[in-house]
Amino acid sequence: MLLAGLVLTFEDLQTEETVSGADEEGVHVSFSQLIAEQIGEGPDGFELQQLQRALNDEDRGTRSSLRDFSRSSRPTIRGYGMEVDTTDGPESESEKKERLVNNLQNLSVGERLKMLRGMPVSVAEKKELRRLTLQKDKPPPSSSKIPCCSQLKFYIIIAARHSWYSWLSFLHSLQPWQFLFKRIGGRFGTGVLSYFQFLKTLLLFNVFLFLVTFAFLVLPQAMHPTELPVGGRNFSGLELISGAGLFTDTVMYYGYYSNSTLQKSCAREHNASASTDHDCVSERPSYNMPLELYRFLIMDFIFTLLNTLFGELLWRLFSRNVLRRSRNPAFDIARNVLDLIYAQTLAWIGVLFSPLLPAVQILKLLLLFYVKVVTSVMMNCQVPRRPYRVSQMTTIFITLLCFPSFLGASVCVTYTMWSIKPSSSCGPFRGLRTMFQAGKRWVQELEKNNPDLSVLARVHAYLVENPFFLFVGAGIFLIVIYFYSQVVDGQRKVIELLQEHIEEEGAHKKYLISKLQNMHESKKRIPRRLRSQVSLMLCSCIFSAPFRARVHAHKNQNKRFEL
Amino acid sequence: MGTTASQLDKGMLSEYQELTFLTKQEILLAYKRFSELLPKEETNGISYRIPMNAILELPELKTNPFNERICKVFSTSDSHDGSLNFDDFLDLLSAFSDSATLEIKSHYAFRIFDFDDDGTLGRQDLEKLVNCLTGGTGDTSLTPDEMKQLIDNILEESDIDKDGTVNLSEFQHVISRSPDFVSSFKIVL
């Protein structure tokens, strides 16, 4: 769905010259056409024209500075007699069609398609119009006149465009749970949908993290397993919860990783000490840290499941029978999102010590997704009553994920790498003063082994270790941030201007409508009734109610949930 | 299911993509659902007209109070019996899709609410509209006095030229002030 939105905006950008937020002239044009339709009806035509002139004169003095933006008024179908209620003008049907086809031809291909799509006529008629338009197009010059390379270029461009669109629709179809999201969004609203989209985003983050750690950490280590004393451990289900037992000697934990680097001969170096789990147990941080984090994660998952399956069920029964409320409790989006963020923070802190933690997190998120979909949403399927501003909430979710969660986790990890002395007998950093030194040591060894690469070592010494470079880097980073903040400021100002503009246009409309009404009323001498806000809302509700009512009726009728 | 998506050839698919607001997946899904409604012996799916009562069996339309009007508005058959061929079906889905513009949606909403097809929403049209929403018969329907009061209020608010009916421009003007019209005027397969 995200990609579909991106494709649409991509196409929009291609076809529109500029984005015009407040199309002043467009509004005035459509309003003057509204007046023009009324004009045909009678003797007040003259007064109405005067009114329109008066409006234009008055308006010129008060136009805001947005006029300076270049504007392209969108091609509209007004004036082509597409509306149901226009009186038959002097033009006949075929003449109108001619005019329409001619105007379509003058537009570029993108705008023509956009206009065709926006026409409220049947698909059969649109096909006919399109055929007529293409027929009347100037025939392409014969191929002998085009030099061969630009014909080739033409074909290449067409092929590239075609393959780009196929690639985009392929990507679009790869989106997991696409139809499921549409169903959830259609039945329960976009608020609940935003929770599931957030879950999907977290899943993608974890997949990426997992791929990176797997490729560079786990795989090399797994291919060259360190020798360990045979412990005769058997797999029992308890491992999944406690994390101890069979998992202690695997790639799951930091302690398993050797501190040797892979040589070409794939022989282990002499100084790689085979660590046993006994030593590791006595070294508290390198073994117990990842173990504890793993346990945190699993416990959080178990308790979430218990809460979802039993807690909410019990609460629903309680509220139904004891409190006698007629509706199920609503899906608490905020609490669930915070749970997700908490679990993700744990995973991020733990990835330093336990490289397979993203994999655990991925499995956990997948299970959680299906459990939540089936139970929380189906059983407590209450459509939320307050309108939910989804885009703002999604921004808040991502901000919460970034600032306390990711920043905190990265600060913890950085501090650990920089200051804490790693265990002396366990893990890939044993024997060093800080974990950071591993990088330095690697470069030194590289220089020692391959003297040709001493340039690289000197570059490393001057760039990475020199604080000057860090200052320059930080400076560039700050400049980029400042630039973006100025852009955001500018956009905020534009939004304010546009809002003022909309208010002005509203005031104009009100003025014109009241004048029109006065004119008609004085003509027919009907006493004016008091206007009320309630009747406006009534109108809007009446006209938009039927399709919202469908959602409730559909839900009640069809209890079966198709995944 | 006898028919498969491969029967919809690429040229027609891209033409439909250009002329409607639907994506390729939505068009293919629409074709699949349309073919399910075809009788077994029918091989050429595109031009066959499915009668209205079969279309109304679709779960998306079954519970809609305006389902018959929708079929009649989108039908291009000469007998105006509400039967839809595949083009009409796509037209329907396109007007009700996520990406359709406000202009299209309000245009078709107007035509759907115009029960007597005279181009304006008169008192009878508005009465029928309210009855469809409230149930028409039984204890949920409005009394004649309430109905008169309601329709007077509606006309007071939307009828600018005071001719006793709501025409398309007035309708579009009222709808433009309703923030959730676009999001609720949706049918997704």
Domain ranges within chain B, ordered by starting residue:
9-95, 102-184
Q: How far is residue A303 from each of residues A351, A367, A544, measured CA to CA in Å?
A: 22, 13, 43
Cα separation, A71 vs A24, whole angstroms = 9
Q: Can you state the angle between helices A467-524 and A24-39, rounded to 10 degrees?
A: 10
Assigned CATH topology for domain B102-184: Recoverin; domain 1 (1.10.238)
Which two tokens mark A498? 């546009």
Q: Is A546 in contact with B64 (Cβ distance < 8 A)?
A: yes
The DSSP result for B88-148, as a single string, is HHHHHHHHTSTT--HHHHHHHHHHHH-TT-SSSB-HHHHHHHHHHHH-SSSTTSPPHHHHH
Mean pLDDT of A229-244: 60
pLDDT at A53 (0 to 100): 55
Which two tokens mark B79? 């007998």
pLDDT at A65 (0 to 100): 38
Q: Is B19 in contact with A546 (Cβ distance < 8 A)?
A: no
B46 in contact with chain A, both atoms CB, cutoff 8 A: no
Res. A122: pLDDT tops 70: yes
Q: Is A517 in contact with B113 (Cβ distance < 8 A)?
A: no
Residue linked to tokens 């945190």: A296
Backbone angles phi, psi at A197, to 5 degrees: -70, -35
In angstroms, the separation between the Cα of residue B39 and the nearest Cα of chain A is 23
Q: Which of B18, B90, B168 sits opposite A83 (nearest CB)?
A: B168
Chain B residues with CB under 8 Å of A8 CB are 99
Which two tokens mark A32? 């003057």
Cα separation, A50 vs A59, whole angstroms = 14
Each residue of A329-374: pLDDT tens digit? 677 788 889 989 999 998 888 887 777 888 888 998 998 888 888 8
Do the domains spanning B9-95 and B102-184 agree at the CATH topology level?
yes
Q: Is B19 in contact with A126 (Cβ distance < 8 A)?
A: yes
Cα separation, B87 vs B8, whole angstroms = 12
Each residue of A73-96: pLDDT tens digit? 444 555 555 544 444 555 677 787
A120 in contact with chain B, both atoms CB, cutoff 8 A: yes
Chain A residues with CB under 8 Å of B130 CB are 542
pLDDT at B111 (0 to 100): 93
Mean pLDDT of B91-107: 90
Higher pLDDT, B153 or A427: B153
Q: Is A120 in contact with B103 (Cβ distance < 8 A)?
A: yes
Q: How far is residue A141 from each of residues A138, A150, A156, A270, measured CA to CA in Å?
A: 9, 13, 18, 77
pLDDT at A487 (0 to 100): 96
Cα separation, A62 vs A326, whole angstroms = 55
pLDDT at B112 (0 to 100): 92
pLDDT at A70 (0 to 100): 34
pLDDT at A72 (0 to 100): 37
B74 in contact with chain A, both atoms CB, cutoff 8 A: yes
Mean pLDDT of A238-257: 61
Higher pLDDT, B89 or A144: B89
Interface test with B, best of A32, A550, A557, A560 (most B CBs within 10 A): A550
Q: Is B19 in contact with A117 (Cβ distance < 8 A)?
A: yes
Instruction: Judge whether A367 and A304 are in contact, CB under 8 Å.
Output: no
Mean pLDDT of A221-249: 61
ipTM rounded to 2 decimals: 0.83
Interface test with A, best of B16, B49, B155, B156 (most A CBs within 10 A): B156
Higher pLDDT, B14 or A47: B14
Q: Is A544 in contact with B132 (Cβ distance < 8 A)?
A: no
Candidate from A253-262, A409-418, A552-561 with smallest mean pLDDT = A552-561
Between chain A and chain B, the number of residue pairs with CB atoms below 8 A apart is 154
Beta carbons within 10 angstroms of residue B107's beta carbon: 23
pLDDT at A23 (0 to 100): 42
Q: Which of B16, B59, B160 sits opposite A513 (nearest CB)?
A: B160
Cα separation, B8 vs B14, whole angstroms = 10
Mean pLDDT of A3-16: 34
**Closest chain B residue to A544, measured at CA:** B181
| CA-based end-to-end distance of chain B | 18
Instruction: Judge whether B147 and B130 are in contact, CB under 8 Å.
Output: yes
In angstroms, the separation between the Cα of residue B89 and the nearest Cα of chain A is 9
Chain A residues with CB under 8 Å of B156 CB are 529, 531, 535
Which two tokens mark A217? 């950490």
Compute the mean pLDDT over every residue in chain A, rounded to the nearest whole number: 70
Decide: residue A17, CB within 10 A, 0-12 exposed, 13-18 middle, 19+ buried. exposed
Res. A200: pLDDT tops 50: yes
Q: Is A547 in contact with B64 (Cβ distance < 8 A)?
A: yes
Q: What angle do CA A34, A40, A46 make, to 5 degrees?
A: 90
pLDDT at A498 (0 to 100): 93
**A25 — pLDDT class (breaks 50, 70, 90):** very low
Res. A405: pLDDT tops 60: yes
Mean pLDDT of B101-121: 91
Q: What angle do CA B122, B127, B128 make, to 5 degrees?
A: 100
Q: Is A124 in contact with B158 (Cβ distance < 8 A)?
A: no
pLDDT at A562 (0 to 100): 36
Max Cα separation, chain B?
Answer: 57
pLDDT at A179 (0 to 100): 77
Listed residue (A65, A123, A41, A171) closest to A516, CA to CA: A41
Which two tokens mark A13? 């950008």
> In which element (H, E) is residue A519 found?
helix A467-524
Q: Which of residues 120-179 of B touch A (CB under 8 A)?
A: 120, 129-130, 132-133, 150, 153-154, 156-158, 160-163, 167-169, 171, 174-175, 177-178
Res. B131: pLDDT tops 60: yes
Taking only Cα atoms into account, the Rg of chain B, rounded to an integer number of angstroms, comes to 18
pLDDT at A90 (0 to 100): 57
The DSSP result for A480-515, as a single string, is HHHHHHHHHHHHHHHHHHHHHHHHHHHHHHHHHHHH
Res. A483: pLDDT tops 90: yes
Candidate from A136-150, A210-224, B35-49, B160-174 with smallest mean pLDDT = A136-150
Listed residue (A100, A121, A129) closest to B88, CA to CA: A121
Instruction: Judge whether B16 and B27 are in contact, CB under 8 Å.
Output: yes
Q: Which of residues 303-342 of A touch B (CB under 8 A)?
A: none
Q: Which amino acid is at A77?
A: I
Cα separation, A460 vs A454, whole angstroms = 10
Instruction: Judge whether A379 and A328 are in contact, CB under 8 Å.
Output: yes
Interface test with A, best of B12, B17, B18, B61 (most A CBs within 10 A): B18
Cα separation, A526 vs A510, whole angstroms = 20
C-alpha B160 chain-centroid distance = 26
Listed residue (B93, B95, B68) closest to B82, CA to CA: B68
Chain A residues with CB under 8 Å of B133 CB are 542, 545-546, 549
Res. A203: pLDDT tops 80: yes
Q: Which of A34, A126, A548 sits opposite B184 (nearest CB)?
A: A548
Res. A285: pLDDT tops 70: no
Percent of chain A's residues with pLDDT above 70? 57
Assigned CATH topology for domain B9-95: Recoverin; domain 1 (1.10.238)
pLDDT at B105 (0 to 100): 92
Instruction: Judge whether A95 and A43 are in contact, CB under 8 Å.
Output: no
Interface test with B, best of A30, A543, A551 (most B CBs within 10 A): A543
Q: Is A122 in contact with B76 (Cβ distance < 8 A)?
A: yes
Listed residue (A560, A232, A283, A306) closest to A429, CA to CA: A283
**A500 — pLDDT class (breaks 50, 70, 90):** very high
Residues 6+ apart with CB under 8 A from A101: A129, A132, A133, A136
Listed by start position, the domains of chain A span 178-224+240-258+287-433, 466-537
Cα separation, A109 vs A417, whole angstroms = 58
pLDDT at A15 (0 to 100): 36
Higher pLDDT, A492 or B46: A492
pLDDT at A478 (0 to 100): 96
